[in-house]
Structure 1
Amino acid sequence: MAKFLLRAVFAAFGLWVASRIVPGVTVVDTGALILAALLLGVVNAIVRPVVTILTLPLTIITLGLFLLLVNAAMVGLVAWLIPGFRVDGLIAGILVAIVTGVASWLGGLALRDDRK
């Protein structure tokens, strides 16, 4: 549970950075940011694998680039569910997915367990 919360902190940081540098992304307050990060973690854990499997042929044909659209759709779903978090358009969603993905990746590197 602690790792999930730490990953949510990195996702919240990524969403905050995206709200600052990506035009069309609005976060009203810190509560909406934290709630969006937690919900994004849940959506990425539950909904994203199902959508990824359902769109596997399209992902293979596009050599994985379709996953950017899947990630943008997950961000759009979170934006649709959280009133204080808004993403305007597909390009903004893709850019938010990229920024949040990089922040989460860096967070995963920081949380990596070297005991293996």
Structure 2
Amino acid sequence: MAGLILTLLVTAVSFLIISRLPFLGIEIDGFGKAVITAIVFGILNAILLPILTVFTLPLIILSIGLFFFVLNAIIFGLAAAIVPGFSLRYGFWSALLGSIALAIINSILLRLVAQFT
């Protein structure tokens, strides 16, 4: 349970970091909205990603796995549509770049936290 809460907080901080990058076009109102966004994003990833993966398996195979970036962008965009106070200025491109930046920053922060715990 503590690991889940720690991952949630790291993801919320990652959302705040990517919202401060000016070229992505991602806007989050504050830390509270970032936590809600991290929760919604995690739930959407847990529920929708396996379903979308099954339906788009031929595209994933043809693109050698690169279509997963599109699936993550779709989930990122859905989270932006659900959570008020989390918006994407440039639509799909913000979602695509934001999901890539989130994965990179989240993995870096999780490794840093894992070293200190």
Higher mean alpha-carbon deviation, 4-13 vs 35-44, is at 4-13
Return structure 1 stretches of 4+ with deviation > 3 angstroms: 107-112
Shift of residue 49, structure 1, vs aligned partner: 1.4
Q: Tell me which residue corresponds to 1:19.
A: 19
TM-score normalised over the length of structure 2 = 0.85
Q: Are the counterparts in 2 of residues 10 and 103 from structure 1 also a CA contact under 8 Å?
A: no
Q: Which ranges in structure 1 are unaligned for 5 or more consecutive residues?
A: none
Q: Which ranges in structure 2 are unaligned for 5 or more consecutive residues?
A: none
Q: Are the counterparts in 2 of residues 7 and 107 from structure 1 also a CA contact under 8 Å?
A: no
Query: Using CA pairs below 8 Å that are at least 6 residues apart, which structure has the higher relative contact order?
Result: 1
Matches within 5 A, 1:60-75: 60-75=61-76
Q: Tell me which residue corresponds to 2:7.
A: 7
State the superposition RMSD in angstroms.
Answer: 1.8
What secondary structure, in the 3-state scheme, does the structure 1 residue paired with 2:24 have? coil
Q: Are the counterparts in 1 of residues 12 and 31 from structure 2 also a CA contact under 8 Å?
A: no
Matched, 1:43 2:44: yes
Shift of residue 69, structure 1, vs aligned partner: 0.6
Q: Are the counterparts in 1 of residues 28 and 86 from structure 2 also a CA contact under 8 Å?
A: yes
